[in-house]
């Protein structure tokens, strides 16, 4: 087992950033709601207390027993975590006119392992309404800023299990040496060996899957996306062809995607069955124009097809899934200590119906970590860095009703667009791109002929997680080239427009 850090979450919007920073230092960590118990085993090396939207003086402020943790382990309090620490040990925390938001500069008052190597006046990022006005008696200040007297502090003489706290947020980008401070906590204070790497993860995960699955069989729906491909590859490395992948052609994939993805799976060595169900999907989608109805039909048909395929396999005990960490982190609600878990991507009620246990090798990884593991496994670069593609595929990029002819038209145009993005080396800097076929016909002229054909919208966005997005500022020459290529080569489209809406208020998909 890897050594581990626990991050107790008090509901801060930045908690996941703490986890990212710890992981970047090759130390495994888990985010746990503050009220949830955890075990102090030998792999646990330290505890970090997150920030919070609460004030420590609120009646319903979340509280943990910092003293108990610190009797066993090094502890680092961040923002709310720092204030809670100060208050619990007898200090004074109050709303004050010295509160700070945004940029501040550290004045280091005392040398300490936590701030080792941090430069004088290092920029840090603050976001607090309360201030620590008095430290508990057996504590000392390590740093101040231009406006507050306590920006970093520690408990005196606690060399066995140090207790440190920071009023600022070392985890955010604008705390310029924040990662160094987190590194210092992990390595200098907790003694972490930094051995959680993609290769150690692969080895450990394969061993775990072998143990979990024994000589059982695993079935898994594959989508061609990064997560399911990486998860399937890990499972396959553990149990070989006892993994049964199922990849369904729902008729609304990109041009040649079905065959290309199956070829890639073959190259990786996965045991995958391609199931061509195009006609079934076209038949059921016929005449359906409402976006939500189209989504529901595609979801339902997919589950039907998958179940049929899965039940035709003999003696299946497990269902593999590409669930990743952001899907399962229990978040602390600001409105109370209730924890909510986002729903898993269960394939219908299959796990219950067939008594399947889940195998989810990526459930502790962030997306960028999944990619690193994928590269470590030797999965082709193009597969790992593919743009996200929605489950309902081109069906939600053909506005209105769907016909096979419209799908073909959009596949051709989309293919020209995506190949162009790759040729012009624009693809990697874009988060997601695609073409949308509009139910709008307009007049054009080609040669001496009047045309009356469809309009195509191009969409490309930059984003980090798809929650917010900006339209990508693609070069005019590129747009001009793609517009020409599409209009000259795809009969049925005579006008191309570019979508310059951000999310919010627009969404990435048009439906």
- 137 Cβ neighbours under 8 A, 6+ residues apart: 90
- Binding ligand XMP by CB under 6 A: which of 127, 144, 432, 483? 432
Which range in 66-74, 177-185, 211-219, 385-393 contacts ligand XMP by CB under 6 A? 385-393
Q: Which of 29, 79, 190, 192 is catalytic?
A: 79
Structural tokens at position 149: 């007297």
Query: Cβ-count burial of 191 within 10 angstroms (0-12 exposed, 13-18 middle, 19+ buried)?
Result: exposed
* Residue 79 falls in the annotated catalytic set: yes
402 is an interface residue for ligand XMP by CB under 6 A: no
Interface stretch with ligand XMP, choices 101-109, 276-284, 331-339, 390-398 (CB under 6 A): 390-398
| Cα atoms in the Cβ-side hemisphere of radius 13 Å centred on 322 | 21
Q: Which is closer to ligand XMP, CB of 403 or CB of 502? A: 502
Q: Is 507 in the site for ligand XMP (CB under 6 A)?
A: yes
Sign of CA dihedral 50, 174, 149, 72: positive
Q: Which is nearer to ligand XMP, 288 or 503 (CB)?
A: 503
Tell me if 390 contacts ligand XMP by CB under 6 A.
yes
CA distance 320 to 494: 45
Closest distance to ligand XMP from the beta carbon of 278 (Å): 19
Least separation in angstroms between residue 65's CB and ligand XMP is: 40
245 touching ligand XMP, by CB under 6 A: no
Cα 37–chain centre separation = 25
* Shortest distance (Å) from residue 410 CB to ligand XMP: 15
Distance, C-alpha 119 to centroid of its chain: 32
Q: In the set 216, 337, 391, 492, which binds ligand XMP (CB under 6 A)?
A: 391
Least distance between ligand XMP and beta carbon 503 (Å):
5
Part in contact with ligand XMP (CB under 6 A); list of ranges 4-12, 129-137, 383-391, 478-486:
383-391
How crowded is the C-beta side of 332, counted as CA atoms within 13 Å? 26
φ, ψ of residue 6 in degrees (nearest 5): -105, 135
Is residue 71 flagged as an active site residue?
A: no
509 binds ligand XMP, rule: CB under 6 A: yes
* 52 Cβ neighbours under 8 A, 6+ residues apart: 10, 11, 12, 61, 62, 79, 80, 81
CB of 461 to ligand XMP, least distance (A): 8
Token output for 419:
């190949």
Among 392, 394, 411, 416, binds ligand XMP (CB under 6 A): 392
- Where would I find the H helices in 462-506? 476-489
Please state, as a whole number, how many other Cβ atoms lie within 10 Å of the Cβ of residue 378: 10
Q: Which of 3, 100, 171, 177 is catalytic?
A: 171
User: Please, what is the minimum distance in Å from the beta carbon of residue 292 to ligand XMP?
Assistant: 9
Comparing CB distances to ligand XMP, the nearer of 291 and 351 is 291
Q: How distant, in Å, are the alpha carbons of 79, 139, 234, 296, 408 from that of 181?
A: 14, 19, 34, 48, 54
Q: For ligand XMP, give the closer residue by CB, 338 or 507.
A: 507
List of residues 6+ apart from 364 with CB closer than 8 A: 28, 30, 325
Q: Which member of 128, 164, 169, 244 is catalytic?
A: 169
- Considering the rule CB under 6 A, would residue 326 count as an interface residue with ligand XMP? no
Give the contact letters, 185-214, x = binds to ligand XMP (CB under 6 A), - = no: ------------------------------
Helix (H) or strand (E) holding 309: helix 291-312
Residue closer to ligand XMP by CB (options 457, 508) is: 508
Q: Are 394 and 407 in contact (CB under 8 A)?
A: yes
Rounded CA-CA distance 21/170 in Å is 9
- 30 burial (CB, 10 Å; 0-12 / 13-18 / 19+) is middle
Site for ligand XMP in 263-322 (CB under 6 A): 295
| By the rule CB under 6 A, 16 interacts with ligand XMP | no
Interface with ligand XMP (CB under 6 A), residue from 174, 466, 475, 484: 466
Active site annotation includes 171: yes
Residues in contact with ligand XMP by CB under 6 A are 295, 388, 390-392, 432, 466, 503, 507-509
- List residues with catalytic annotation: 79, 169, 171
């Amino acid at each position: 087992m890897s050594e581990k850090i626990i991050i107790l979450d008090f509901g801060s919007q930045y908690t996941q950033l703490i986890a990212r920073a710890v992981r970047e230092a090759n130390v495994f960590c888990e985010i746990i709601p503050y009220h949830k118990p955890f075990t102090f085993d030998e792999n646990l090396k330290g505890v970090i207390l997150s920030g919070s939207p609460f004030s420590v003086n609120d009646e319903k402020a979340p509280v943990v027993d910092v003293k108990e943790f610190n009797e066993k382990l090094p502890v680092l309090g961040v923002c709310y975590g720092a204030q809670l620490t100060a208050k619990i040990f007898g200090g004074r925390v109050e709303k004050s006119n010295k509160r700070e938001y945004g940029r501040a500069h550290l004045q280091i008052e005392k040398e300490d392992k936590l701030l080792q190597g941090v430069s004088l006046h290092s920029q840090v990022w603050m976001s607090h309404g309360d201030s620590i006005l008095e430290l508990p008696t057996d504590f000392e200040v390590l740093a101040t800023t231009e406006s507050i007297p306590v920006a970093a502090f520690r408990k005196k003489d606690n060399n066995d299990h140090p207790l440190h706290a920071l009023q600022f947020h070392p985890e955010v980008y604008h705390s310029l040496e924040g990662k160094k401070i987190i590194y210092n906590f992990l390595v200098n204070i907790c003694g972490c060996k930094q051995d959680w790497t993609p290769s150690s993860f692969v080895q450990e995960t394969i061993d775990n899957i072998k143990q979990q699955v024994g000589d059982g069989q695993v079935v898994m729906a594959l989508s061609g996306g990064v997560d399911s491909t990486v998860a399937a590859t890990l499972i396959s490395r553990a149990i070989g062809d006892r993994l049964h992948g199922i990849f369904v052609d729902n008729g609304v994939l990109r041009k040649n995607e079905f065959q290309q993805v199956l070829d890639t799976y073959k190259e990786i060595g996965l045991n995958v069955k391609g199931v061509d169900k195009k006609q079934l999907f076209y038949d059921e989608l016929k005449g359906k124009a409402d976006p939500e109805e189209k989504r529901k039909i595609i979801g339902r048909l997919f589950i039907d097809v998958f179940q049929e395929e899965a039940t035709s396999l003999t003696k299946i005990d497990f269902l593999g899934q590409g669930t990743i960490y952001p899907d399962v982190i229990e978040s602390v609600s600001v409105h109370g200590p209730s924890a909510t878990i986002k729903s898993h991507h269960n394939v219908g009620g299959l796990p219950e119906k067939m008594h399947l246990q889940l195998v989810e090798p990526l459930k502790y990884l962030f997306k960028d970590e999944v990619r690193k593991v994928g590269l470590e496994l030797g999965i082709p670069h193009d597969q790992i860095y593919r743009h996200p593609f929605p489950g309902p595929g081109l069906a939600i990029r053909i506005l209105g009703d769907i016909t096979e002819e419209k799908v073909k038209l959009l596949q051709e145009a989309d293919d020209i667009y995506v190949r162009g993005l790759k040729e012009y080396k624009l693809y990697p800097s874009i988060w997601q791109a695609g073409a949308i076929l509009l139910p709008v016909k307009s007049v054009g002229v080609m040669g001496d002929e009047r045309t009356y054909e469809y309009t195509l919208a191009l969409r490309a966005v930059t984003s980090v997680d798809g929650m917010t997005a900006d339209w990508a500022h693609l070069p005019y020459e590129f747009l001009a080239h793609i517009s020409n290529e599409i209009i000259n080569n795809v009969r049925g489209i005579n006008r191309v427009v570019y979508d310059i809406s951000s999310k919010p208020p627009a969404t990435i998909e048009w439906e």
